Amino acid sequence: MIRRADSIIIVSDGLSDPFEDDDDVFVPRGHLLEVCIEAPLAAFDGAPVQASWLFDVIYQVSQNVADHGSIDLLLQRHGSVSMALDLQDAPKALEDENEQVGVLLAQGAATLPPAFDTPYGEVMLLTVIVLQPAELAYISEAEDKAQSRRDLAAALTAEPMGHWSVAERPAVIPR
């Protein structure tokens, strides 16, 4: 966790740790990435970060990244990745008709680096942005999902809140 003057950044821990896979081949940087989410201090209402729905977002995204194993390749190919999560205690305004919360993962943000160095080499830093239900539907209904994610990422970063995950904000639908 990183506390800034007006926000908190929750960062995964361990996705880039070295490990040996099933073939006993040493992978020096694990999954080659870590994930983070930034939200205003008000989103935590003074409660411990670990008790927040935002912490659950990072936990679940981390589990998905670890399970998939090649999110870095999807990001290189498509520029961003989206997923729907079953969160505990998510704000109802963020849940779609299936009671899931959408997120968008992209590399870097205006105030966050796209990568950082480790003793084993460079590791990508993926920014997770919580989506409004209409934004998740925009991606789901698009013929070119990769382009819709890129357009949405650009529209979100152009907003005043940028990459911050905020429960109650107007949906940003690119035209």
Give me the tens of pLDDT residue by residue for the chain, a chain 175 residues long.
899 999 999 999 988 887 655 555 555 567 789 999 999 999 998 889 999 999 999 999 999 999 987 888 898 899 899 999 999 899 999 999 999 999 999 987 888 999 999 887 889 999 999 999 999 999 999 999 999 999 999 999 889 888 999 998 999 998 7
Residue 71 lies in a domain: yes
The reported pTM is 0.90
Find the domain containing 61 and state its range: 2-158
Residue 173 lies in a domain: no
Residue 175 lies in a domain: no
**Contacts with 23 (C-beta within 8 Å, 6 or more apart), sequence order:** none
Residue 174 lies in a domain: no
CA triple 160-161-163, angle to 5 deg: 125
Residue 18: the pLDDT is 74
The structural domain count of the chain equals: 1
Residue 12 lies in a domain: yes
Residue 175: the pLDDT is 76
User: Residue 108: left if φ>0, alpha if ψ -120 to 50, beta else—which one?
Assistant: left
